[in-house]
């Protein structure tokens, strides 16, 4: 098994610098307004922004190292789609990685989390797939109804793409 990291496409260092810049500007404005002299905020703003960026960069690197998992051996399957996901059982959610193959949907949670689990759903067990909303507002939910009377809910990026890929994979199953 190889290792995969569940990180986004955005660079954590770039995001840390952007957040540090925002914090720095905010602190600079605060101290400039407080003192009434515009340049009085430059040093505290620069210092606060640099410290915030450094801490956020360290934190992002630490989190990325914890959010790795062993990639399963898919030698007999074709991986169609994969990406980070959260699987909800009731109100509890577990972060992890979701794989769609030509035969099943596989969720692997991060090993370090309390809600650590693995879920493998054969495609022929899925009755329906709907793209939905989390909290009735955010378009990122995937709801699967299984022929075992169970309903599985995932939060994924590009939920409609996942829905379409699952339906297409089900259609390609041979009877």
**pLDDT for the residue 10:** 54
In the predicted structure, residue 141 carries a pLDDT above the cut 80: yes
C-alpha distance from residue 118 to each of 87, 96, 151, 174 (Å): 10, 9, 16, 26
Residue-averaged pLDDT of the chain: 81
Q: Which CATH number fits domain 72-171: 2.30.29.30, 2.40.50.100, 3.30.2310.20, 1.10.10.10?
A: 2.30.29.30
pLDDT digits (tens, 9 = 90+) for 154-172: 888 888 899 999 999 998 8
The pTM of the full predicted model, rounded to 2 decimals, is: 0.61
Residue 1 binned pLDDT confidence (cut-offs 50, 70, 90): very low
- 117-128 tens-digit pLDDT: 788 999 999 999
Residue 1 or residue 151, greater confidence: 151
pLDDT attached to residue 6 = 43
Q: Which of 145, 43, 44, 162 is nearest to 98 (CA)?
A: 162
Q: Could you report the per-residue pLDDT of 39-61, keeping only the tens digit for each?
A: 888 999 999 999 998 898 887 77
């Amino acid at each position: 098994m190889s290792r995969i990291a569940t990180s986004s496409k955005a660079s954590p260092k770039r995001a840390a610098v952007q957040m540090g810049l925002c914090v720095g500007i905010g602190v600079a404005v605060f101290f400039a307004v407080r003192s009434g002299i515009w340049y009085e905020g430059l040093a505290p703003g620069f210092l606060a922004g640099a410290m915030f960026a450094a801490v956020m960069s360290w934190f992002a690197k630490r989190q990325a190292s914890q959010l790795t998992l062993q990639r399963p051996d898919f030698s007999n399957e074709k991986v169609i789609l994969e990406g980070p996901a959260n699987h909800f059982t009731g109100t509890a959610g577990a972060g992890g990685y979701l794989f769609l193959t030509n035969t099943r949907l596989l969720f692997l949670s991060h090993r370090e989390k309390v809600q650590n689990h693995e879920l493998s759903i054969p495609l022929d067990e899925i009755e329906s797939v709907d793209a939905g909303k989390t909290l009735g507002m955010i378009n990122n939910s995937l709801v699967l109804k299984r022929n075992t009377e169970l309903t599985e809910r995932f939060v994924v990026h590009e939920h409609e793409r996942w829905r379409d890929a699952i339906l297409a994979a089900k259609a390609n199953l041979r009877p």
